[in-house]
Amino acid sequence: MSENISKGQWITVGENNIDAYVFQVISNTEILAGYYQNRIKAIKEEIVWDGSKWRFKNSGPSGSYLRGADEALVKRGPINS
């Protein structure tokens, strides 16, 4: 079971621990999250819980570009206190 996940939360995804912002919770094991891909593009994509970590649902290109405030939020990343 995944951690308690909620909209507005930052998580890490995959083996490289990519920071991703949760835009929508679909279920306890599936979300839509945005991340900054290669420090070039802000992308929103489906993310799934594999039993131990969050990972991308699809291995190939499948997300959509973020724009405006959502893009700026993802590019800014989590704010460390």
Q: Copy the structure tokens of residue 49.
A: 């819980």
Strand partners, 20: 11, 35
Q: Could you read off the pLDDT of 4-16 as tens digits, one per residue? A: 899 999 999 999 9
Q: Is the pLDDT of residue 40 over 60?
A: yes
- The mean pLDDT value of the chain amounts to 92
Residue 59: the pLDDT is 84
Q: Could you read off the pLDDT of 56-67 as tens digits, one per residue? A: 999 877 899 999
User: What is the Cα gyration radius of the chain?
Assistant: 12
